[in-house]
Structure 1
Amino acid sequence: MIEYVAGRVVRAEGDTITVEVGGIGYLIYCANPFVFQLNEENTVYTYQYVREDILRLYGFKSRKERELFERLLQVSGIGPKGALAILAAGAPLQVVEAIENENEAFLVKFPGVGKKTARQMILDLKGKLQDIVGEEGYLASSNASGPLFDQPLEEALEALRALGYVEKEIQKVKPKLAKEQMSADEYVRKALQWMLS
C-alpha cells in the first residue's frame, strides 16, 4: 500500500487533486480537495482501493482521517464514495456522536446512507471510534489545529447553500473561513467577499 504521497499539488478539481512527484502526476480522490495548498508541497496520506475494474488512490490530511475512512469502509453498504461524502461534511465528531447516541436521523442525511446502512454503522462502529476522535472534538492527531465542528461556520455554510452556491465553491472558501473565529453572519459576509472578488 502507498502510505503517503509527498509532492506539489498542481491541480484541485471536483473531488480530486493531482500531486506531482518526480515528473509523475498522481490523481488522488479527496473529501475536500481544497484543504491542500495549490502549487505547494503537501503530504497526502493515501488509501489504495483495488477491485477487479478499479484502482484508485484516496487522499487525506492526516493518518487519523484515513483511519476513519477505513473504518467506514468496513460497514456493509458503504463504499469509498459514501465514506468520502461523510468525511466531506467536515464534522467527524458529529458522525461519531451520532453513532454513539444511535442517532439514525442524523446519519441518513448523508448521500447514499439509508436507514438500513445507518443502523449498520451503529452496530459495527459504536464504541470503536474514540481512538480516532478525541473527547474534546479534535482528531487524535498531532497536526489537528482545532475543533472539528464550528456551529457558526456550519450555519454560514448552510446559508451559502441556501443562496445557491454549489458545494465546490463552498469547499474552496471553507478552509480559509475555518482559520477565523466569527459569527455566522460575519462568516457569510467574508465568504461572499472572497467568492465575488
Structure 2
Amino acid sequence: MIERLRGEIFLVESDYIGVDVQGVGYQVFVVNPYQFEEGTTNVVYIHHVVREDASLLYGFSVQEERNLFRSLLAVSGVGPKAALGILSAGTPAQIVSAIQAENVAFLTKLPGIGKKTAARLILDLKDKLAHWMPKTLEIPTQTVVSESNDREIVIDALMGLGYDEKEAAQLANNSFEENQSVEAWIRAALRQKG
C-alpha cells in the first residue's frame, strides 16, 4: 500500500491532482485541489483503496486530516467520496467538534449527510475522537484563561460550529469560570447548548 507521495504537482483538476514521482504520474483525489500549485513539490499523505475494478489514491496535506478521513470511512454508509465531501465542507476541528457536541444541525449541512448518517457519525465516532478536540481546535497550550483574548478564541470556535456571533458570545459569557483552560471553556459552552 502507498503511505505517502513526494513529488511535483503537474496537474490540478476540480477533484484531483496529478503528482509526478520520478517520472510516474499518480492521480490523487484530494479535498481541495486548489490548495496545491502546479510546478511545486509537495508531500501528500495517501489513503490507498484497492477495489476489484480500480486502485484509487486519496491524498491529504497533513496526517491529521487523513486520520479523520479513515475514521469517517469506518462509519456505515460513508464511503471515500462522502468522506472527502465532509472534509471539504469544514475543517477537521469543526467536524470533530460537531461530532463531540452532537451538533446534528451542523452535520446535516455537510454534503451527502442526512439525519441517519449524522446520528451514526455521532454514535460511532464521539468516543473515538474525544482525544482530537484539543489538537484540532488549535488551542494555545496555556492553562489559565485570560478573559479578554481567550474569550475571542472561544467565540471563534463556536462560530466555526455554526453558531451566530451573538449566540456564541452568550454561550462564552455564561460558561466562563476563573482558572479554566480554553478547551474546558469551549466544552462548557457546548454543554450549555446540549
Q: Same fold (TM over 0.5)?
A: yes
Percent identity between the two aligned chains: 49
Per-residue Cα deviation, 1:86-129 (whole angstroms, up to 9, x for no partner): 11124221211211111111111111111111000000000222
Count of matched residue positions in the alignment of Structure 1 and Structure 2 = 145
Q: What does residue 74 of structure 1 align with?
A: 74
Is contact 2:28-2:58 (8 Å) kept?
A: yes
State the 1:19 CA deviation: 0.4
Q: What does residue 28 of structure 2 align with?
A: 28
Q: What does residue 137 of structure 1 align with?
A: 137
- C-alpha separation between the residues in 1 aligned to 2:133 and 2:73? 17
SS of aligned partner of 2:38: coil
- C-alpha separation between the residues in 1 aligned to 2:138 and 2:38? 25
Q: What does residue 170 of structure 1 align with?
A: none
- C-alpha separation between the residues in 1 aligned to 2:136 and 2:3? 27
- C-alpha separation between the residues in 1 aligned to 2:124 and 2:37? 35
State the 1:138 CA deviation: 2.7
Gaps of 5+ in 1: 140-146, 155-197
Q: What does residue 119 of structure 2 align with?
A: 119
- C-alpha separation between the residues in 1 aligned to 2:116 and 2:68? 20
Gaps of 5+ in 2: 140-152, 161-194
Structure 1 stretches (4+) deviating beyond 4 angstroms?
Answer: none
- C-alpha separation between the residues in 1 aligned to 2:30 and 2:13? 10
Is contact 2:89-2:111 (8 Å) kept?
A: no
Is contact 2:107-2:113 (8 Å) kept?
A: yes
RMSD: 2.4
Q: What does residue 84 of structure 1 align with?
A: 84
Decide whether aligned partners of structure 1 residues 118 and 6 sit closer, same or farther in structure 2, where only a CA change above 3 A counts: same
Q: How does the TM-score come out when normalised to structure 2?
A: 0.68
- C-alpha separation between the residues in 2 aligned to 1:112 and 1:4? 28
**Bigger Rg, which one:** 2
